């Protein structure tokens, strides 16, 4: 069974540009989560999508946005890039959330560098 | 405000000995806890989890202990192997918080041969 995939592996942008990161969840998973891991820091929750809807977002400005497509894949967009947006962006997927917790399974990440 | 804390950024252990990684949390709403392992240039890999209704969960060489009164959990790896060398993240989730995971900052475990 294929795991969570992310593209591109690396992305280099200049300040002020927009970045688009993509994620394909594990087959059968409907929830997709985005996390940011800046250098030396832990994983910070960005966004959660389920069944095409944004269910929750972390403490990030509105220039971080995304969407989930009917096939459950997801896109993260970062507008007006700033130097501090340089980080590893991780996508995770899980089965539909319900009364029982479901573990999240992570992709390899996209390394975004803003110059 | 860091709700999940891993106070030891690094830990070195001899091969064959026990590795104990610690994690503290402050949010009493957390009811599910997970440990992830991360190698460089890879995404975190789920290791083991525990619900707040239990105080211990075991899976092979990995055991997680939960002390709710102390808001503390620990991951024991016995015996430790060089392949266990990685960054270990503790994460917590709350049913009423829409199941998002709150991660600690990680502990780099090095198992020396």
pLDDT at B80 (0 to 100): 98
Structure-model confidence comparison of residues B2 and A109, the more confident one: A109
CA angle in degrees (0–180, nearest 5) for A61-A21-A83: 50
**Cα–Cα distance measured from residue A48 to residue B99, given in angstroms and rounded to the nearest whole number:** 9
pLDDT at A41 (0 to 100): 78
Query: Mean pLDDT across the stretch B91-105?
Result: 80
What distances in angstroms separate CA B21 from CA A69, B18, B105, one per listed residue? 39, 10, 12
Nearest to B30 by CA among B68, B75, B62: B68
Do B43 and A97 make contact, defined as CB atoms within 8 angstroms?
no
Quickly list DSSP for B8-53.
-SEEEEETTS-EEEEEEE--TT--EEEEEEE-TTS--EEEEEEETT
Q: What is the pLDDT of residues A81-114, one digit of tens each?
A: 999 999 999 999 988 665 455 688 899 999 999 9
Structure-model confidence comparison of residues A42 and B112, the more confident one: B112
Q: Report the sign of the C-alpha dihedral through residues B4, B46, A33, B86, in that order.
A: positive
Say whether pLDDT at B31 is over 80.
yes
Residue corresponding to tokens 């390394």: A111
pLDDT at A99 (0 to 100): 46
Nearest to A110 by CA among A18, A2, A22: A22
Query: Mean pLDDT across the stretch A35-39?
Result: 90
Do B93 and A108 make contact, defined as CB atoms within 8 angstroms?
no
Within 8 A of A101 by CB-CB distance, chain B residues are 31-32, 49, 51, 93, 95, 99
pLDDT at B2 (0 to 100): 80
Structure-model confidence comparison of residues B60 and A50, the more confident one: B60
Within 8 A of B8 by CB-CB distance, chain A residues are none
């Amino acid at each position: 069974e294929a795991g969570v995939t992310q593209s591109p592996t690396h992305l280099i942008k200049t300040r002020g540009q927009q970045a688009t990161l993509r994620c394909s969840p594990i087959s059968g998973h409907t929830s997709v989560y985005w996390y940011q891991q800046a250098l030396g820091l832990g994983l910070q929750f960005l966004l959660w999508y389920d069944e095409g809807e944004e269910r929750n977002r972390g403490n990030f400005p509105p220039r971080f946005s995304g969407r989930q497509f009917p096939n459950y894949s997801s896109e993260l967009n970062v507008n007006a890039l700033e130097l501090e947006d340089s980080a590893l962006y991780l996508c995770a997927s899980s089965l539909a959330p319900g009364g029982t917790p479901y573990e999240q399974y992570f992709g390899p990440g996209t390394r975004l560098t803003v110059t | 405000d860091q709700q999940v804390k891993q106070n030891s950024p690094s830990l070195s252990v001899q091969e064959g000995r026990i590795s104990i990684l610690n994690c503290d949390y402050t949010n009493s709403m957390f009811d599910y806890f997970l440990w992830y392992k991360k190698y460089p240039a890879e995404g975190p890999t789920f290791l083991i989890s525990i619900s707040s209704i239990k105080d211990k969960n075991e899976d092979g060489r990995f055991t997680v202990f939960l002390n709710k009164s102390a808001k503390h959990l620990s991951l024991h790896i016995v015996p430790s192997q060089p392949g266990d060398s990685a960054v270990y993240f503790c994460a917590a989730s709350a049913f009423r918080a829409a199941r998002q995971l709150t991660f600690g900052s990680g502990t780099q475990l090095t198992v020396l041969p």
